[in-house]
Structure 1
Amino acid sequence: MKSNGRPIVLGTVISWLLFAFIGFGMWGCPTYNVWQQEMSGRAEFAKAEQNRRILIEEAAANLEAEKLNAQAEIERAKGAAEAIKIENGSISEKYIQYLWVRQQRNLSDKTVIYIPTEANLPILEAGRGGSMSPPKYNPE
């Protein structure tokens, strides 16, 4: 019987390739995990740095807005002082009403406003709820 060495050589080559593949996997998997963790850490660091920059920019914008609001308030105070000066140093009731009405611009549509009537007594929620009639007395 004639012996052919090809199957033995092929089996040996396949076993060595399998051994090399398993060896490479045993070395490559932990190395890949370390690399993946490093990349993940870099990504988180970059994200944290970007968030910090955003917070700094927002704080700077808020500071600038507050400075501008303060300047506007100073100008309003100068205008009020000038108005009082024109009125001979006394604030009239009409001017106070004007300031109150101007302040109401900033309120939402759902604000309840009590308007004083005679003797400065407000009409408390008249007509609220759709019924104009007073509640009925039930002696139970």
Structure 2
Amino acid sequence: MKNFSITGLVVLGVMAMVALTIILWGYPEYRVWSQEMEGKAEFAKAEQNRRIKIEEAKANLEAEKLNAQAEVERAKGAAEAIKIENGALSEKYIQYLWVRQQNDLNDKTVIYIPTEGNLPILEAGRNAGKKSE
């Protein structure tokens, strides 16, 4: 029995030394590995954010190009309309454009009251910002 207890103590001591060695060597290695993984994760996140910004910039560029094309087409249409009017804008056409613009505004109610010259009254917009005394 005495041999068994001494052998058990020796084996237990050796196992404790091996465990201590593994812990003393393994913990610093684990910290290095852990920080390396954190760095890789941060790098991947930064790379993904960069790609997202690039794609957003491309989408903005495409939208601006399409807006520019739409503006060119609108200008061509306006030029064609002026050409149809024999190169001069008549009062009737200007009124038509104003009324059409007002129809595009969904958030305002406009009441059109023709004046002597059949032009809209625009005074209400000038006085809207002034306080009454």
Output the TM-score relative to the length of structure 2: 0.74
Pick aligned residue for 2:30 from 27, 32, 53: 32
Distance 1:122 1:30, change over 3 A: same
Q: Which residue of 1 aligns with 2:19?
A: 21
Report the structure, 1 or 2, having the larger helix content: 2
Q: Which residue of 2 aligns with 1:44?
A: 42
Pick aligned residue for 1:78 from 69, 76, 79: 76
Determine helix, strand or coil for the equivalent of 1:16: helix
Deviations 1:53-87 (A, max 9, x none): 11111111211221121111111101101101111
Q: Which amino acid aligns with 1:61?
A: A
Distance 1:21 1:100, change over 3 A: farther
Name structure 1 gaps, 5 residues minimum: 126-140
- Matched length: 121
- Asked if the contact 1:84/1:91 (under 8 Å) is kept, the reply is yes
> In structure 1, what is the Cα distance between the partners aligned to 2:93 and 2:114?
20
> In structure 1, what is the Cα distance between the partners aligned to 2:53 and 2:100?
34
- Asked if the contact 2:102/2:110 (under 8 Å) is kept, the reply is no
> In structure 2, what is the Cα distance between the partners aligned to 1:27 and 1:95?
88
RMSD value over aligned CA atoms?
2.7
> In structure 2, what is the Cα distance between the partners aligned to 1:18 and 1:82?
94
Distance 1:45 1:118, change over 3 A: same
Output the TM-score relative to the length of structure 1: 0.71
Structure possessing the higher relative contact order (Cα contacts under 8 Å, 6 or more residues apart)? 2
How far has the Cα of 1:106 moved from its partner? 5.8
Q: Which amino acid aligns with 1:34?
A: V
- Asked if the contact 1:84/1:90 (under 8 Å) is kept, the reply is yes
Alignment of 1:61 with 2:59, yes or no, is yes
Distance 1:13 1:98, change over 3 A: farther
Determine helix, strand or coil for the equivalent of 2:2: coil
Name structure 2 gaps, 5 residues minimum: 116-120, 129-133
Q: What is the percentage of aligned positions where both structures have the same residue?
A: 59
